[in-house]
Structure 1
């Protein structure tokens, strides 16, 4: 069955190298935590806040060994006043046998503020 795996991170500067570096680190941690191989991924959506436009974060996936053919689409996040700035969010759709509550979502850097409830271990 398919499941969505969420991830988010932030950058300090709107610079191409930093955007790619932090996106790559996020994808790699998402994959590691959930035992995801590139062939398990149906597709991924990456959104960025309006202040992140120096590079397409999707480039980071193409640079990861084996991930070249994973379909990825980038888009701008809704510009909600007071929302977390310089944020990159990923929704990865994967084939997995995991139950919904077993999926481990990944939040790095300032993005840990987005969903602290998802970072807690789920016992039930």
Structure 2
């Protein structure tokens, strides 16, 4: 078997205090659906991603990964499958997971966490909470 070799790592110098320095940031969002169907989930995910894109000028080449979580009452389609159909999202690493079940928590809910590289500070990202998910973070909810 042929031995694999890798080029030696060379350290780059970064001024971490420089305001233009790029960092990985987390962008959050959530929404709810009216019922468990392909159509309802597709509509809600598209609306959520439209709002995140519009409010954050997302560049798909800067997205590191995206994790969707859905409550256990949603199983008609993977939210990532909806995202994958959208222009620009086909090269983004996507993952679906089931949201932890907590008694009394919001039902029919889809959450998203986008990891992206950006020069923006965390407090300049616009998180998006739509529909009944606005109750999760009223301070961040977008008004229709």
Relative to the length of structure 2, the TM-score reads: 0.79
Is 1:2 matched with 2:18?
A: no
Q: What is the count of residue pairs matched by the alignment? A: 120
Give the structure 2 partner of residue 63 of structure 1: 85
2:45 aligned counterpart, secondary structure: helix
Match of 2:95 among 56, 73, 79: 73
Higher helix share: 1
Highest relative contact order (Cα 8 Å, sep 6+), 1 or 2? 1
Relative to the length of structure 1, the TM-score reads: 0.92
Instruction: Decide which structure has the larger Cα Rg and report it.
Output: 2
Q: Deviations over 1:39-94 (max 9, x none)?
A: 12110000000101111010121111121111100010000000000000000001
1:29 aligned counterpart, secondary structure: helix
Give the structure 1 partner of residue 20 of structure 2: none
CA deviation after TM superposition for structure 1 residue 119, in Å: 4.0
Give the structure 2 partner of residue 26 of structure 1: 48
Runs (4 or more) in structure 1 with deviation over 2 Å come to 117-120
Unaligned runs of 5+ residues in structure 1 are none
1:117 and 1:7 map into 2 onto residues whose CA distance is 12
Unaligned runs of 5+ residues in structure 2 are 1-22
2:103 aligned counterpart, secondary structure: coil
RMSD in angstroms over aligned alpha carbons? 1.2
Are residues 9 and 119 of structure 1, via their aligned partners in 2, closer, same or farther at CA, if it must alter by over 3 Å?
closer
